[in-house]
Each structure stands twice: as C-alpha cells, then as structure tokens.
Structure 1
Amino acid sequence: MSNYIDGFVFPLPQIYVEEYKQVAEKVAEIWKEYGAIDYFEFVGDDMVLEGVKSFMETMGSNPGEVIVFGWVVFPSKEIRDLANEKVPMDPRMTELVAPLINPDRLIFDASRMAYGGFRPIVQTKID
C-alpha cells in the first residue's frame, strides 16, 4: 500500500460547474504529467444523511453553490511532493486558473477549500 492521495473539497457556484469542469479536465492532465496516476473530481448530489454533518454545512456553502469533492492519486508521497512543487510553477496552470480566480467573477475561492495529504490504511479494489 504505497499510494498517497491529496484530497480536497470546496464549494462552487452551481452556474459555473460546466466552466469549472472544462478547466479541471485540463488540470488533471497536467497533474498526470507530473506523476499522478489518477485524478477525480465529483459534484455533490445526495448531501444529507440524518445524524451527521453534511459537506454543505461543513463547508459553509451558500444557496446556489454545490460541493466539489476530489482526490489525486500518486504512486508515493515522494512523487506527490515533487508534483506539488512543480505543478504550481507550470505556466499552463497559471493560464488555466486565472479566469477562475478573477475577483470580478470569482468561480474558485481557495480560501474556502479544505485540503490534505493522506496515506493509506485500507486499500481494496473490487474487480
């Protein structure tokens, strides 16, 4: 069990989901160039379970926002650490992300994102 993942969750205005998706698909390819073996992003659909705090509540989402939950899989923490150094410096990332963080039309607000690196404790694959 040597894989390592970076996980993240954040609110996103519903009206920008398709625009965000187009950027995320390109971003995923860049992460793979730097060593990621899988890249996943999902949009919240069934967000309420009685007796537990929802992602929407935890993230302080506003009306008109959805929750994006994602993770990037790396073959090791070392490869992940190198990717985390190199990806932000890739000029394609700056170009792709700039329209999402424009203060006049803020689509992605990193200050509202929860993020962390995770080592495995259980890893099973159903064939």
Structure 2
Amino acid sequence: MAYVDGFVIPVKVGDRQAFIDHARQMDAIMIEEGALRIVECWADDVPEGKQTDFHRSVDRQEGETVCFSWIEWPDKATRDAAFARMGQNEVMMKTPMPFDGKRMIFGGFEPIVLLEKANG
C-alpha cells in the first residue's frame, strides 16, 4: 500500500442502511478505478473528548453519529487519475449522498509506518 485517503463523516443514525447502500455503490466504482481496499466504519466506541474528538471534527448534530472510512491505493498517481475520472462519472456526480458532505473531513496520506501480522 502506497497511498491512503481518509474520511470522517457525520451521518444521521436513521440513515445507516442508506449510508451502507451508498458506500457499496460508490466503493465498487472506486475499486474499478484502481482502489485496492475500502473500509467503511460505523461509530461503536467513540468517546467525547475534552478538547477534540471525532464528533466535534464534523460538527456532529443531534441524531447523528460519526463514520470513519479509508481507501487504500497502490500509489498516489493511481489515486489522482481515478479521482479525475470519477469527477466525470455521471453515477458518482448524480447520486445523492446520505450525509452532509460539507462537514465531511477528508485527505490523502502517504503511509510512513506499516506493520502487518505475518500469515500463518
């Protein structure tokens, strides 16, 4: 893995299935575009902090939770080319998001430490 996109997303608790359905549809497109793996996570044990936390990072509102997601790419060039193509993808551009995209936090990251448990 050579490049990762990370996301923190506010989602209405009642829109859990809509979020899952949306993720499955959009994630399939990203896999076709070259993503190696996509992980979508629903908050389970996300404490509220005293100064910062996931909730405040997206200005979580009453009735919302926080989702944490990431996309693994083989390299930044593959990711950049895929994002350029996805920006022209009608399905991606016209499919409504079941969350407030204005409060989503996202960014691309270069992994600098990677530890994996050996298979076996």
TM above 0.5:
yes
Contact 2:36 2:73 in 1 (8 A): yes
Residue 113 (structure 1) shift: 0.7
After the TM superposition, which residues 52-67 of structure 1 pair with which residues of structure 2 at under 5 Å, given as runs? 53-67=52-66
SS in 1 for 2:56: helix
Equivalent AA in structure 1 for residue 40 of structure 2: E
Q: Could you give the per-residue CA deviations for residues 87-121 of structure 1, whole angstroms, max 9, x where no partner exists?
A: 121122134x23x3xxxxxx322110111100011
Tell me, in whole angstroms, the C-alpha distance in 2 between the residues paired with 1:22 and 1:16: 10
Q: 1:19 to 1:44 in 2, by over 3 A?
A: same
Residue 17 of structure 2 is matched in structure 1 by: 18
What is residue 99 of structure 2 aligned with on the other side?
A: 108
Task: Describe the superposition over 1:49-82 as per-residue Cα deviations: whole angstroms up to 9, x where unpaired.
Answer: 7666220122210121010110111000000100
Q: State the number of aligned residues.
A: 118
Distance in 2, Cα, partners of 1:45 & 1:16: 16
Give 2:77's aligned residue.
Answer: 78
Distance 1:22 1:7, change over 3 A: same
Partner of 1:4: 3
Residue 104 (structure 1) aligns with: none
Structure 1 residue ranges (4+ consecutive) displaced by more than 3 angstroms after TM superposition? 49-52
TM-score, scaled relative to structure 2? 0.89
**Alpha-carbon contact 2:48-2:55 (below 8 Å) kept:** no
The two structures have a TM-score, normalised by structure 1, of 0.84
Q: Give me the identity figure in percent.
A: 30
Q: Which runs of 5+ in 1 are unaligned?
A: 101-106
The alignment's C-alpha RMSD in Å is: 1.7
Structure with the largest fraction of helix: 1
